[in-house]
Structure 1
């Protein structure tokens, strides 16, 4: 027998939990189905929260941004250092206004959002989404769920969930998107290593409440480093390098055979060549527990003109809809914006005397509010890979001052959320 719910959310990450919270705040119980066995123990990364993300969180639930900020560190200074092949450093520093930016460990953010769910029984772990069908105005989703047989051996049970709406919030490699659209992620040819570790003040990786960005370029070698205060006595180090040929990724099996559980740490230490000028970076990486080091190849998703199926009973949200290069730090924030907007649209639709039509209209309105905005941010994020084929020729030809103006205008527009959703009429480059 199928399980009956109003809203089924596939994915128990930040976007899925935020949507469930927004609906809970408006009297609607959504159920979350997540393939992982539980909340993540280690993620190795942190999320950036600027004004748009903070406002979206407060729109989801008043005071939610404050609760998240207490789990991280409010950024008061950003320091950027760029060193080119001629070893000439370009340094840029700026102060951040109070309440305008915060860094929160991903794990702490997920735990905080999950802890706000009043009825924990709506969190269904070990549920791997398979596919869906739309039948008689409702969507039937199938999940594979491991069960223990009486014989003692494990097996997989297929669970059917019937819902008025299925929301795919299952990340950049979304299975919901695969069934709905069938496309694949785009390789951005970058590899990132990162870890969230206890702060060691003597290493002086960063100042208190400081975010440092360092870049090194020599010929075809491009490396970037983030060092930042993640709050609660934690720091994040992150090292990213270009891997156009895929050689670094292809070497993983041999490296795994050679280094075992230390493989990710061994691979990132190999990438420190050219970064010797960054004070104590090697010491910080060498002192990191190998199990805390996360390695990932960067992908994004190409923008879609629709996030839903033809019946408007299935819709995408967050990275599943608009996965983007993490450089500008907008992935989690735009997911929170999505959750905020959809949680405001659905209550009236569900309460309608004609809910099937009203839900379709709510999904259509959601797409109208979100697709244009996130597509522009996605494209901009891809530019920040600095891969020429991802930067429009007219942008490459802009004078440096105009490029900086365009960058600043984008951030100004993004921070206006929830106003000026589709663009800033006062800008030169980001008009509606």
Structure 2
């Protein structure tokens, strides 16, 4: 059996790593000239590590991420006063430099299995068609090519892309910065997030509610908007290389897909369920997708599967993954809307609700989100 994965993102490389370990022939097709990641962090929860374990690379990622820190975490106001502190639900959470995660994923995939500078322009009868006319054949095609997926557009229809109403700057400090707490600080139409990496550096993000065509500035604009918020936000910005700061509008699929599987083609990660980052589950859900698909392909299909068995296996994948991922995407959308409220009255109501909510309730919701396991036979 031969599997063709379109897109060398976290989910696509994770699937390729699992299939390689299972002895299944796999090729990853990536349009970029080089597979690399830029300065941002990836939050991995218990469910993400469970998926990585199922793919056979969990311990490697834990080593790269470093030890989990012992920080207070929760929600604060711009003056630093606490609205809510999380309990033990975040104890297994680790934040890893995206570049380090990619390094581990690439090391688990044979070098000659990743084809770069290869842009997929459409699906063929038995695989995909590359720009220039080259056709690549496969028994199974997996679209892991992100929010603007070419595979999705060809085989599933394009649901469109929705702007969430806000954008985000992201950066990682150049060196360790002492902090005593992590989490998010909530303003009016603005948020600042702090997430420590295992080596003491800090991944941070800054969200603002702006028009879709907003032309964002760089680190100086982040300082202007957030520099007078509580410590250590100013110190984090001072410790960040301006050239390493990026800004992007927050986007998601405009509507839910009716299926993640069509014939011998399946979708994975953002191509299937691109969601806003408010629950920190984007990468974790992509890894769950990869683990389930890897499990089903390795368990249910032989070395030379027929079309009927492939179609049935991918339909099973769709039934297992679509309800959970679409539910989490809805939750993330709603949470982002509330957290970005700009009106003073609504922001005050939000802050009061967070302050009055029992810590045990927030912990239980976070733990429930992280509960995941491979499907039973």
Q: Under TM normalisation by the shorter chain, which class is it?
A: 0.7 to 0.9
Distance 2:256 2:264 in 1: 20
Aligned residues: 362
Distance 2:88 2:175 in 1: 22
Alignment of structure 1 residues 87-102 onto 2, 5 Å:
89-94=81-86, 96=88, 100-102=92-94
Larger Rg: 1
Pick aligned residue for 1:49 from 24, 44, 50? 44
Secondary structure of 1:267's aligned partner: helix
Secondary structure of 1:382's aligned partner: helix
Alignment of structure 1 residues 259-270 onto 2, 5 Å:
263-270=217-224
Structure 2 gap segments, 5+ residues each: 342-349
Instruction: Determine the structure 1 residue equivalent to 2:309.
Output: 358
1:411 aligns with 2:366: yes
- Any conservation in 1 of the 2:69–2:198 contact (CA below 8 Å)? no
Distance 2:305 2:331 in 1: 40
Distance 2:6 2:357 in 1: 42
More strand by share: 1
User: Would the alpha carbon gap of residues 345 and 327 (structure 1) be closer, same or farther in structure 2, given more than 3 Å must change?
Assistant: same
Distance 2:88 2:63 in 1: 17
- Any conservation in 2 of the 1:168–1:320 contact (CA below 8 Å)? yes
Secondary structure of 2:292's aligned partner: helix
Secondary structure of 1:351's aligned partner: coil
Pick aligned residue for 1:295 from 241, 244, 247? 247
Q: How far does residue 173 in structure 1 lie from its aligned partner after superposition?
A: 2.0
What value does the CA root-mean-square deviation take over the aligned residues?
A: 2.8
Q: How far does residue 316 in structure 1 lie from its aligned partner after superposition?
A: 0.6
- Any conservation in 2 of the 1:7–1:165 contact (CA below 8 Å)? yes
1:31 aligns with 2:7: no
Alignment of structure 1 residues 153-302 onto 2, 5 Å:
157-180=132-155, 181-201=157-177, 204=178, 206-207=179-180, 211-217=182-188, 222-243=189-210, 245-246=211-212, 249-252=213-216, 263-272=217-226, 276-301=228-253, 302=255
Pick aligned residue for 2:74 from 57, 77, 80? 80
User: Would the alpha carbon gap of residues 25 and 114 (structure 1) be closer, same or farther in structure 2, given more than 3 Å must change?
Assistant: same
Higher relative contact order (CA 8 A, sep 6+): 2
- Any conservation in 2 of the 1:76–1:96 contact (CA below 8 Å)? no
TM-score (norm 2): 0.87
- Any conservation in 2 of the 1:78–1:96 contact (CA below 8 Å)? no
Instruction: Determine the structure 1 residue equivalent to 2:17.
Output: 21
User: Would the alpha carbon gap of residues 414 and 362 (structure 1) be closer, same or farther in structure 2, given more than 3 Å must change?
Assistant: same
